[in-house]
Amino acid sequence: MNSCPALMISAPSSGSGKTSVTAAIARHARNAGKRVRVFKTGPDYLDPMVLERASGHPVYQLDLFMGGLAHCQGLLAQAAAESDLILVEGVMGLFDGAPSSADLAAAFGLPVLAVIDASAMAQTFAALAVGLQTFRRDIRLCGVVANRVGSAGHARMVAEGLPEDLPLVAALQRRQDLALPERHLGLVQALELPGLDAQLDRWALAWGEASKGFEFQPVRFDVEPEPALPPLLKGRRIAVAQDAAFSFIYPANLDCLRALGAEVLTFAPIEGQALPPCDALWLPGGYPELHAPALRAHTSFFADLAAHLAAGKPLLAECGGMLALAECLTDAEGVDHAMAGLMPGRAQMQARLAALGMQKIEWPELGDRGELRGHTFHYSTLNTPLVPIAHASNPNAGKAAEALYAQGSLRASYVHHYFPSNPEAIAAFFLAHHSS
């Protein structure tokens, strides 16, 4: 049993400023010498990159669908044993989705700090805050943050009507110099923002000045230790592409491979790094369309992928990793880029969101224990003659139902798989060898 100050940062909707406030709190605590662990509710790659820079520690997902209750318990208990403060950034609005941020807060007794965009309201702020406070009895709001206020007078107006047990913890002014740039999948990647650390320090300073007197409350995390995974991948070398083009990697996925006994070897294709000698390969999602010239300029990358597949070695390609294997990728400006040509078909970026949602998929070759969980989020489409061997389903009755394609030792899909959802199934795939 471990106890640690902990807080969930949520909001009435997306776009309220949860990530900025969470990053500000994390950097403020870190600058004060505290060990901070930050988690993100639900599937997300871009917010955690910013939160990792703010806290100085990898950011893990807490998702009751993808990982399950016991997995989330274990992550929180480990963090509580190693840190002075735990922060959990919510997803969308507090009660949105199933499971929601509220479900997670209720499961672990996390007090909730609600971030409300006050830029277009005054006294109605209190009505919205009280609505969040009273909508469910099994969660507890410990305070609210008024984000993007225009002045001290505006801050006083939004505080009117708040009950005594729901304090205004901070009123943060609207400042263009504190905004982060965005692109079609959300925030721009942290590694592409050279001034991010200075900006995080400005956020931390603004939080510290606005939130004087706020105290974090300890939470007890009870957990039974999960049994160790069997070393099914002992002696296997698994290469993972990891750079700005292939950056959508959950830390828990790499941990899972290592816990299964694999040696994980990362390499950066857009920097010209060669595919290391390996038994299997994972090409995760990312932004190949933004780095297509660099991928083409790599003298051996596509040839190495071809040789890997010709040898019958497993290759898992997810979303952007799959697009890099297509014959052609057309970017958002309509420019065609020749890709590896190892998977028949053409990919096209588009302005509209193509798919979004949690995903559950049965890999038919893995038998009745082949269910994997994850999510999909992409602005591209893929036109391929390959016939899918399976389709995913959405637990929230959403339309997204991504295909799983197979060609020799290649498995490709828009699904971003969460490896801890079924470590044995992941091990079975990475152990497989398909004779050419």
Average pLDDT over residues 78-91: 96
Per the CATH hierarchy, to which homologous superfamily does domain 2-221 belong? P-loop containing nucleotide triphosphate hydrolases (3.40.50.300)
Residue where the block lists tokens 């992550």: 75
| CATH 3.40.50.300 residue ranges for the chain | 2-221
Residue in 72, 278, 319, 328 annotated catalytic: 319
Average pLDDT over residues 29-42: 97
Give the model's pLDDT for residue 186: 46
* Topology classification of domain 237-431: Rossmann fold (3.40.50)
Summarised one tens digit per residue, pLDDT across range 88-115 is 999 999 999 889 999 999 999 999 999 9
User: How far is residue 231 from each of residues 36, 82, 201, 260, 262, measured CA to CA in Å?
Assistant: 31, 26, 42, 4, 8
278 is catalytic: no
Summarised one tens digit per residue, pLDDT across range 243-296 is 999 999 999 999 999 999 999 999 999 999 999 999 999 999 999 999 999 999
Q: Regarding predicted confidence, which is higher, 257 or 196?
A: 257
pTM: 0.93
Measured CA to CA, the distance from residue 135 to residue 366 in angstroms comes to 43
Q: Confidence band (pLDDT; 50, 70, 90) for 368?
A: confident
Give the model's pLDDT for residue 143: 97
| CATH 3.40.50.880 residue ranges for the chain | 237-431
Q: Are 220 and 3 in contact (CB under 8 A)?
A: yes
Give the model's pLDDT for residue 156: 94
Summarised one tens digit per residue, pLDDT across range 129-148 is 999 999 999 999 999 999 99
The first and second tokens of residue 382, run together, are 């893929």
User: How far is residue 200 from each of residues 24, 50, 204, measured CA to CA in Å?
Assistant: 6, 9, 6
HEC string of 44-91 equals CCHHHHHHHHHHCCCCEEECCCCCCHHHHHHHHHHHHHHCCEEEEECC
Q: Confidence band (pLDDT; 50, 70, 90) for 233?
A: very high
Q: Give the rounded percent of residues in the chain with a pLDDT score beyond 70.
A: 94
Give the model's pLDDT for residue 142: 97
Give the β-pairing of 380-383 and 346-349.
Answer: antiparallel
| Range name among 44-58, 229-243, 311-325 with the lowest pLDDT average | 44-58
Summarised one tens digit per residue, pLDDT across range 344-360 is 999 999 988 898 999 99
The first and second tokens of residue 241, run together, are 């592409």
